[in-house]
């Protein structure tokens, strides 16, 4: 016996005790005793847990599908941007080589009869340009400025003409500057004559010196292109022609990135009599997004260099020496 009256004796602690009866309700056909290990409501709990697990698995699968779709979309967009950037880089390299050749070559005569070296330069610029399909209508992503058609071309001359010359130019391109002085200015002057039966469609491209296919931020080409579209929208095709000639005449053939500043373009337009609305448009760089869209459309059509000239649906091999082009220029 223990001295502590509250502590049970060894005999008491080892003696078997009679279990108190337990009454369980809710197990039909099994009497009053539940299955071994059963707890009331456990089946419902297990079912709920299974349902939650199933829903979690479904949610995880859906999340994985959404993530894969997002990755595929990003990769597709990135691939398109990379492809466009690569094409822009290739064009920039090609233009740099042409510029080096053009700087060492003699200029052609003013009447459009280019020197032999000039003709070779022109042919090298056009050698990679395949026969272009018809210019497509632009998507409605950006409003088309007034004075342009649905393909993004500035229309100069007789709208009902049977002779149509399409020209793709970049204001930063030294070769385009030369083409404008020897061919372009005379061609548009001829188109603006009454009953000329000649329509010149100018497409403004901007890729030389630009850092992004979206032209954000805009470089010299994009600023000049936007300003030119402001002029045609606000003051008409004749003002556009005069402004383009002035821009090319003021251009530095070394293509400095700082040329064609917004302030300089506004001042140039004002000196030519541009309206206040046109100057405001130039200062706002309003049409840079449209220039970007038009540039991408030109590449999509197959343009691979500037200047690219299409005469009555035929892509010319030499923008300086093509006889049909020279015939239209001289009248």
Mean per-residue pLDDT over the chain, rounded: 79
Which contiguous run of DSSP H or E holds residue 314? strand 314-315
**Three-class SS of residue 120?**
helix
Residue 62 pLDDT = 81
Q: What is the mean pLDDT of residues 270-295?
A: 98
Residue 78 pLDDT = 54
pTM for the whole structure? 0.65
Contact 198, 190 (CB under 8 A): yes
Phi-psi region of 34 (alpha: psi -120 to 50; beta: other; left: phi over 0): beta
Torsion angles phi and psi, residue 81, rounded to 5: -65, -40
Query: Band of the pLDDT at 184, cuts 50, 70, 90?
Result: very high
Using the predicted structure, report yes or no on whether residue 6 has a pLDDT greater than 80. no
* 198-205 and 314-315 strand pairing: unpaired
The overall longest dimension of the chain from CA atoms, in Å, is 137
The string of pLDDT tens digits covering residues 54-106 is: 787 787 878 778 776 666 554 554 554 455 556 555 555 555 554 454 444 43
Percent of the chain with pLDDT over 70: 67
As a whole number of angstroms, the distance between CA 178 and CA 108 comes to: 9
- Which of 139, 156, 148, 167 minimizes the C-alpha distance to 226? 148
Q: Domain 73-330, what fold?
A: Glutaredoxin (3.40.30)
Using the predicted structure, report yes or no on whether residue 173 has a pLDDT greater than 90. yes
**Which parts of the chain fold into alpha helices (H)?**
10-14, 42-104, 116-126, 174-179, 185-191, 220-235, 237-250, 262-271, 276-284, 288-301, 323-330
CA dist 234 → 84, 203, 305 (Å): 31, 18, 29
As a whole number of angstroms, the distance between CA 72 and CA 207 comes to: 28
Domain boundaries, the chain: 73-330
As a whole number of angstroms, the distance between CA 294 and CA 296 comes to: 5
As a whole number of angstroms, the distance between CA 148 and CA 250 comes to: 25
Q: How many other CB atoms are found less than 10 A from the CB of residue 185?
A: 18
Residue 129 pLDDT = 52
- Which of 176, 231, 167 minimizes the C-alpha distance to 199? 167
As a whole number of angstroms, the distance between CA 7 and CA 4 comes to: 6
């Amino acid at each position: 016996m223990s001295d502590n009256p509250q502590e049970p004796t060894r005999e008491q602690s080892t003696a078997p005790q009679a279990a108190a009866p337990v009454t369980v309700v809710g197990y039909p056909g099994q009497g009053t005793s539940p299955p071994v290990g059963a707890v009331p409501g456990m089946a419902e709990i297990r079912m709920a847990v299974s349902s939650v697990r199933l829903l979690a698995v479904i949610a995880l699968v859906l999340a994985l599908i959404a993530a894969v779709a997002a990755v595929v979309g990003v990769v597709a967009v990135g691939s398109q941007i990379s492809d466009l950037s690569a094409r822009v880089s290739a064009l920039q390299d090609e233009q740099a080589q042409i510029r080096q050749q053009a700087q060492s070559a003699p200029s052609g005569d003013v009447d459009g009869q280019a020197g032999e070296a000039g003709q070779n330069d022109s042919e090298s610029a056009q050698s990679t340009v395949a026969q272009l399909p018809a210019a497509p209508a632009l998507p409605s992503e950006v409003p088309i400025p007034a004075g342009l058609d649905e393909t993004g071309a500035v229309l100069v001359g007789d709208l009902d003409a049977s002779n149509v010359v399409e020209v793709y130019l970049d204001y930063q391109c030294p070769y385009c500057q030369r083409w404008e002085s020897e061919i372009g200015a005379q061609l548009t002057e001829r188109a603006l004559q009454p009953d000329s039966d000649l329509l010149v469609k100018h497409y403004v491209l901007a890729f030389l010196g630009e850092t992004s296919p979206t032209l954000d931020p805009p470089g010299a080409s994009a600023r000049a292109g936007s300003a030119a579209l402001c002029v045609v929208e606000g003051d008409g095709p004749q003002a556009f022609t005069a402004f383009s000639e002035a821009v090319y005449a003021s251009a530095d053939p070394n293509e400095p990135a700082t040329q064609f500043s917004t302030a300089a373009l506004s001042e140039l337009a004002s000196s030519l009599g541009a309206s206040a609305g046109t100057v405001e448009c130039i200062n706002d760089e309003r049409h840079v997004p449209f220039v970007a869209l038009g540039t991408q459309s030109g590449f999509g059509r197959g343009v691979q260099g500037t200047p690219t000239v299409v005469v009555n649906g035929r892509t010319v091999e030499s923008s300086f020496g093509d006889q049909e082009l020279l015939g239209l220029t001289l009248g």
